[in-house]
Structure formats: structure tokens, C-alpha cells
Amino acid sequence: MTNLDAVRLTAPGLYTAAGADPASLWEALVAGKDTGRSDELLAEAWPGAGTAFLVDDPDAATLGVHRRVLRTSEKQARMALYGARLALTGPSVTGPVGGEGWGLYLGLPTVDEQLLRFSALDGLRRAADDSPGAVAALYGREVPPFSGLSHLNSTAAAHISAVFGLTGAMAAYSPFSDAGLSALVDGVLSVAEGENEAAVIGAVSPKVHPLLFPQYEELGWTGAAPGEGAAFLVARRGPDVPGARDVPAAPDGPAVRLAGYGRGFGADGADLTSALTEAVHAALAMAGTDAAGIGWVLPDAGWTAAGEQAQRAALDRVFGPAGARPAVAGAERATGVLGPAHPLAHVVLALHGLATGRLLADDGETVREEPLPVSRVLVLACGARGQVCAVVLEGAGS
């Protein structure tokens, strides 16, 4: 049986509009800090969302690389490299990093396929004889989700591996929000099953670009503000495992582990709700607990109506009436929608809460900080095409 108890999650690295660490995001949410930026181009390209949550493009000095690396990457890959650097150069990582025992598991927001499907070429020819508006409309309908935003998304994995010498088992997942949690689950399993000694786990958002709007719209976007960022952490065998290197707990609190997970797929409506409900129950069962054993829930960003409704209904089924539920809060107020990085940013936020014994509760108007009653947190991902994932994180001693 897979020994999840042997794996510790540590070294959180988080880069969002709220700052470059989990504590900054936590403080921004509690303080109600305005971390968004207005941009005339984005306001025009994103009707109804005149604000975007942008991050500064990391330069060579910030990334700790030669400037020639910047010529073979773009902002999306640089955000990922910066997130990995924040995790791997932080105080939670001791001893050497890299080698054949270190793997890399990434959630990426793009897919490698043609910008425009060949079947649409004839329609493009006809539209070209009509008007520029018709061409734009055709591109908005026919461009596959997230494709074309980055033709260099693979450099995110390549540069992280090269800079830190990660040559162990690896995997990348695209393109929806479940990709970040899939990277987490499989990265932890790779360590638990002995395939890797350690796994660097991360996810990055799409870069905010006018082309992103028609693709989000095609997926059922509700007008939520887009955001940029990256979230990373490290999974390593704990110090109590024979033969493992000494891996101390995070300096501000106890070790945290992935206690359970569930994954599935469902079509829109009741099917999606059932899939997410089953994923949550599977995660709870693997963690050896039930709904009463969860102290905090971090749902995925509700940027599609189907996803938001499915999450609400699934929480009703699992936890019952709203008054009986654990606290529910996410990071969207201060980060925007981060695509694959959003649920993994919630994992990093949960690590911070578990380490300090606190949670965040959102009453619809403000976010407040409260004591964490139970050292278990549920994180959800609800992909725009029906992919769902649920993980239970547990602090030491639960």
C-alpha cells in the first residue's frame, strides 16, 4: 500500500499579485488589500472585468540566471522558474538540491496543438472576404482553449530542470485547474512509492493576454478577473523514514502531509456535482476521516457557472447546511483566477494555515482570520471540461 504518511510537504513558494510569499497573500486577504491593476487594453479585451491581477515579469537577476535564458522563455515560463526558486532557495530546504532523485511535476496552462484547427481554414478564407470582425469572431470560436498563449510552455519544465539539476522522474499536466492538484498527487506518490527521493511540485497561470478572453469565454467564463502567478512546494520523505535524508519541518510549524485524494470526471450539471462529491468522499476515506474532521475548505475559483454550481452543490451534499460547514475561503480576492496555479496556491495557503493553526473565513464581504479547529484542510479543483480533484492536507498530530 502507498505510504503517504512517509511524505512531507514543505518549502512553499508563491508568486502572486499579493507578493512573493504565502504570508503576504494571507495578510492581503485579511486586510482587504486591493492588489489588482487597471489596464486600458485589458479593460477593453475583458468586458466587465476592468481589473487584472498581474505580476511583474521577473528579470535575470531575480531569477538568478544568465540573461540568455530570457531569450528562450516568456513570461509564463519565467513566472514558473521564479516560483521554483522561491521554494528551493527558502529556509525549509536544507542540504543539496537536484540529481537523479529529484523529480519535477508541473501543472501548465497550455497545450501543444495548432493555433487554428485545419477544419476552420475554409471558414477563415470566407471570413477574410467579409470583414476583420468576422475573422476575429472565427478565431474566438476556433482557437482551442489556452492554445496560442505560449508556444514555449515546455521551457517552464526545461529551465527549472536545468537551473536546479532535477533529473528524476517528471510529468506535466495541462491545461485546466485540476492540473495543479494532479501534479501534487502524482508528485507525492512518486516519493511515497520510492520513484523519487524528492519531488518539486508546481503550477503556473496563463499570462494575461487579450487572446485569453475569447478562450475563457468559450469555456463559460462568468466575468471573474484574470490573474497571473505561480505556486510551488517540495514533497520529501520524512526524517522518520529509514534511509531518508533529514528533512526538518517548516520553521514556523509542524510537518504537513497529503492525507487523501480523489479524482474524477463529470459532464455539466448533476454529473459534475456527483463527480466532485465522489472525489471528496474518496479523499476523506483515504485520510481516515469524515466531513466533521475537516477544519477549512478552499474551493476552486468559481470562474464558470457550471463549476461554481457544482462546488456549491457538492459542499451541500458532503457537509450539509451552511451553518454546519467548516470555514470556506479562497485566494481569488487578492490573486484573480490563476488557472492551473489556483488550487495549488490554495495548497500553499493551506500549508501556511496548518503551520500556524489558523484559517481564513469569507463571509461574502470580508475575509477574517480564525483559529483552525481541526488540522485538516480540503482543497478542490473543478476543471472547465469536467475534470475534478479533491485533496485532504493534514498537519502532524491530527
- Domain of 305, CATH number, reads 3.40.47.10
| 155 vs 172: CA distance, rounded Å | 12
Q: Which helix (H) or strand (E) holds 145?
A: none
For 29, phi and psi rounded to 5 degrees?
-65, -45
DSSP strand E in 89-227: where? Answer: 102-107, 170-173, 198-204
End-of-domain residue from the set 203, 237, 271: 237
Q: CB-hemisphere CA count at 13 Å for 383? A: 26
> How many domains does the chain contain in total?
2
pLDDT for position 218: 78
**CA gyration radius, the chain:** 20
Residues 101 and 229 reside in one and the same domain: yes
Residues 211 and 319 reside in one and the same domain: no
Q: What is the pLDDT along the chain (398 residues), one digit of tens a residue?
A: 468 888 999 999 999 999 999 999 999 999 999 998 876 556 555 555 678 899 999 999 999 888 887 877 888 889 999 999 999 998 888 888 999 999 999 998 864 444 555 566 667 667 666 677 776 676 666 655 555 444 445 678 888 999 999 999 999 887 777 899 999 999 999 999 999 999 999 999 988 877 677 778 778 888 888 899 999 999 998 765 444 444 433 333 458 999 999 999 998 778 999 999 999 999 999 999 999 999 999 999 988 888 999 999 999 999 987 667 899 999 999 999 999 999 999 999 999 999 999 999 998 889 999 999 999 999 999 988 889 999 999 997 66
Tell me if 132 is assigned to some domain. Answer: no
Residues 267 and 227 reside in one and the same domain: no
Distance, CA of 287 to chain centre: 21
| Full residue range of the structural domain in which residue 65 is found | 4-113+145-237
Tell me if 108 is assigned to some domain. Answer: yes
pLDDT for position 148: 46
